Structure 1
Amino acid sequence: MTARRLFSLHRGLTSALVAAALAMPAVLPSAVTAATVPFDDASWKVQRFSLFSGNDYDFRGDALSVVSDGTVSIAYRPLAPANWQARGASWSWSVETSVPPTDLTRKGGDDRNLAVYFVFLPEAEARALQGASITRLLNEEAIRALVYVWGGDQARGAVLPSPYLGARGKTVVLRGAGTGGHRERVDLAADYARAFGGGAPGALVGIAVSGDSDDTDSRIDATISGLQVD
């Protein structure tokens, strides 16, 4: 076969390959689609820590109002496996009546207006524990929880040890005690690495919201809305 013939065949094959490549759909890296987390009665379960008292939660679909009058409790909802790879979150929150500043590292003295928990598990454990209660999850050795807090007397961005979760949980301060309204955006992956010394989060299996005013015997009137994970 002559050199000219070889060149002609090579040029034709190259053109065909380029055309085929252009005709194929682009393959993009997989991404997590932003998902709204609604505040509906059916998905959220309230866990009281006392038989006789607890916060009042008003689930309104797009928002959750929390009234805490010398009480403490936590509301939790699991996330579907489709949301387990979420690595960011955003929400709006407001406080009309605030607890006083407290030491968030002190067990029995760490009142806060609102805390938003993001609960992670290795995927194998996540599948085995689907449907477990928040109290069961928070007692699992494999659990890791980022707890974003409005309250306390520490500076914004401070990462603090949890007085209840030990090495399994870290408190991230977003707002000190006081009133007002704000929109928050958090990088769960970056905060996880900072809080737990590196590594990637596991599956984001659930979210919880709590108000805590029992130690100071004070009152909280607060609302959280527009919660999304992505």
Structure 2
Amino acid sequence: MRIMLSLAFVVAGAVSAQAGPVSFETGWQEQRLSLFSSNAYGFGETLTLVSEGSVSIAWTRLARENWGSRGASWSWRVDQSVPPTDLSVKGGDDRNISLYFVFVPETLAPGLEGAGIRSLLGNADVRIIQYAWGGNHATGQVIPSPYGPPGQGVTIALRQAGTGAFDENVDLAADYARAFGGAPGALIGLAVSGDSDDTRSVIRAALGNLVLR
């Protein structure tokens, strides 16, 4: 199932170096990727998701004090898991939970104000890093997305398919350089997804304590 994001977020002005905790209580919206497929999200102190043979994303805009973020940490838990898959295969890349970081060049960010949620599809200037819990890949492997324009997005495998609870800490700037080369631009948005439609399996997962720095 097509799971690469095409999101637009309200942005304006210069990138700030400040960052901090990200709330899951307000500002998040679900975006269906199929008319007949939707996950169940719960928004509160943590973001919970249940995916039963389905796929969708929950996304949020970021306030301008977060645009300059170059690192992130979070906690996540999986209580019921999809089977291992190959995250490089279009239509066969189910995963338990993914956290997306959406970047655009700083000089282009003001021009995206008011754009629709799907308006970045095909935009060659957008870069997306997706950290995934799922698949059968080595930890830290950078996997080109099989969706969207070539070079627009990558998946970085953090955990193979299975259950448990873990804390993560990532260097966005270093991972961006590995994936795309150069330095990231403005971090304008985040998204969380669960994807179980190809394997017709069930996911029960949660993500919390998300901090940008």
TM-score when normalising by structure 1? 0.82
Instruction: Give the counterpart letter for 2:47 in structure 1.
Output: L
- Correspondence 1:81-230 to 2 at 5 A: 81-165=64-148, 166-196=150-180, 198-230=181-213
The residue that corresponds to 1:46 in the other structure is 30
Q: Percent identity?
A: 57
Residue 73 of structure 1 is matched in structure 2 by 56
CA gap of 1:201–1:146, structure 2 versus 1, over 3 A, is same
CA offset at residue 137 of structure 1?
A: 2.8
Displacement of 1:34 in angstroms is 3.9
RMSD over aligned CA atoms reads 1.3
AA aligned to 1:141 is A
Name the larger-Rg structure: 1
Return the offset for 1:199: 0.6
Structure 1 CA distance, aligned partners of 2:196 and 2:117? Answer: 20
Aligned partners of 1:138, 1:116: CA distance in 2, in Å?
Answer: 18
- Is the Cα–Cα contact under 8 Å of residues 71 and 172 in structure 2 kept in the other structure? yes
Question: Deviations for 1:9-60, whole angstroms, at most 9, x for unmatched residues?
Answer: xxxxxxxxxxxxxxxxxxxxxx8344111012x4111110122220000001
Give the residue type in structure 1 aligned to 2:30: V
| Partners of 2:115 and 2:163 in 1: CA distance | 34
Give me the TM-score of the superposition, normalised by structure 2. Answer: 0.89
Asked if structure 2 preserves the Cα contact closer than 8 Å seen for 1:76 and 1:134, the reply is no
Structure 1: 5+ residue stretches without partners: 1-30
Q: Whole-Å Cα distance in 1 between the matches of residues 106 and 198 of structure 2?
A: 36
More helix by share: 1
Residue 56 of structure 1 corresponds to 40
| Structure with larger RCO (C-alpha < 8 A, sep 6+) | 2
Corresponding position of 2:22 = 37
1:156 Cα deviation after fit: 0.5
- 2:17–2:67 CA contact under 8 A, matched in 1: no
DSSP 3-state at the match of 1:102 = coil
Q: Structure 1 residues 82 and 33, CA, compared in 2 at 3 Å: closer, same or farther? A: closer
User: Could you tell me how far 1:82 is from its partner in structure 2?
Assistant: 1.5
